[in-house]
Amino acid sequence: MRVHAVRPILNVSDVRASIDWFEQLGWKSTFVWEEERDDEPGFGGVGSGGAEIYLCRNAQGSRGTRVPAFPFDDSTGGVWMSWFLERVDDVDALHARAVELGYDVSMEPTDEPWGVREFHLRHPDGHTFRIGCHKAR
Would the pLDDT of 37 be above 90? Answer: no
1-61 maps to CATH 3.30.1900.10: yes
Is residue 125 within 8 Å of 11, Cβ to Cβ? Answer: yes
State the pTM of this model.
0.87
d(CA 46, CA 52): 6
**Among candidate residues 54, 50, 35, the one with its CA nearest the CA of residue 4:** 50
Would the pLDDT of 43 be above 70? Answer: yes
Where along the chain do its domains lie? Answer: 1-61, 62-137
Q: Average of pLDDT values for 31-58? A: 89
Q: Average of pLDDT values for 56-83? A: 72
d(CA 24, CA 121): 13
- Which of 20-24, 37-41, 95-99, 102-106 is least confident? 37-41
CATH superfamily of 62-137: 2,3-Dihydroxybiphenyl 1,2-Dioxygenase, domain 1 (3.10.180.10)
Would the pLDDT of 63 be above 90? Answer: no
How buried is residue 12: exposed, middle or buried, by Cβ count under 10 Å (0-12/13-18/19+)?
buried
Q: Average of pLDDT values for 111-125? A: 95
**Among candidate residues 48, 59, 57, 58, the one with its CA nearest the CA of residue 24:** 48
